[in-house]
Structure 1
Amino acid sequence: EENVQESRREWMLLMMERAGKKNSNVKHRQFWQQDNHPIEIWSLKVFEQKLNYIHQNPVESGFVTDTIGWKYSSARNYGNNDQTLLEIDVN
């Protein structure tokens, strides 16, 4: 489903194309960062910290005002027990 009101579409595609040109492994566009830095989740506290960080990203970027407002976020599962889009065992 395409959102005709999305004003950043062309800009986002351009940015992904530029990122893809810098990497010989990418044919068209690159969405994810190339490097990753794995962090060991060694306690519940660290898990909750990382999960909260991920859930806050759309809020910090200004896309939504609340973590459960982002359609593809697992925050909906944790906050509302909403399993309609993504099924997650939150126990």
Structure 2
Amino acid sequence: MSDKYKANDPAGIYFITFSVVQWADVFTRREYCEIICNSLAYCLKEKNLTLYAWCIMTNHLHLICSSPMLASTIRDFKKYTAKELYRAIQQNPQESRKGWLSWLIKSGGELSSKHEEYRFWQPGYHPILLDNNALVDQKLDYLHRNPVTAGFVEEPEHWFYSSARDYAGDHGRLPITFIQ
């Protein structure tokens, strides 16, 4: 088995991405983004996750982070948020896409190799070790410019669900550690 996309360095800083099944635009509602933020805050406090940068897009999430047990932290994060997001979608009376999203998430589970009840996230998280300053700068710029490139905002720091505000000198939604 390849080690290309494994978090093998417990002291390493990694760029990782989580994508929703079928790239469904789930994070268009604030309450779903808040589930992600609250879960990340829990991992920061209880799971020894260090968060350097983050950005929630409509159908995926980027993090630059580290943890001595990154794989298990990510596994737990994805498992918990999948359950919470699925439940939130089911219980949201304002969710006009409930039937479609439920079908999509259940189909993802049925089609998975484990034949799960449902699957919210695509498998894996594609960790990329950021082992030099040029790579750190490239991924940090990519992550923060993602909402600008998508045409949602004109400046990275205008995107609420991102650490770009912190890097612009303002206070963001989650506590971050600046990369030295």
TM band (smaller chain): 0.5 to 0.7
**Partner residue of 1:56?**
145
Backbone CA RMSD of aligned residues: 3.2
List per-residue Cα deviations over 1:39-85 (Å, max 9, x = no partner).
121112211111111112222222222211111101110013324x2
CA shift at 1:28, angstroms? 3.6
Residue 39 of structure 1: aligned partner = 128
Q: Relative contact order (alpha carbons < 8 A, sep ≥ 6): 1 or 2 greater? A: 2
5+ unaligned residues in a row in structure 2: which ranges?
1-29, 32-95
1:30 match: 120
Distance 1:78 1:30 in 2: 30
- Residues 61 and 43 (structure 1 numbering): CA distance in 2 closer, same or farther, change over 3 Å? same
Gaps of 5+ in 1: 3-8
Bigger proportion of residues as strand? 2
Aligned counterparts of 1:82 and 1:49: Cα–Cα separation in 2: 23
Take 1:69 and 1:20, find their aligned partners in 2: how far apart are those partners? 35
Structure 1 stretches of 4+ moved >6 Å: none
Q: Give the SS at the match of 1:49.
A: helix
Q: Aligned pair count? A: 85
SS in 1 for 2:168: helix
TM superposition score normalised by structure 1? 0.63
Q: Taking structure 1 as reference, are residues 64 and 13 closer, same or farther at Cα in structure 2, changes over 3 Å only?
A: farther
Provide the TM-score with structure 2 as the length reference.
0.37
DSSP 3-state at the match of 2:141: helix
Separation in 1, partners of 2:155, 2:108: 29
Percent identical pairs in the alignment equals 34
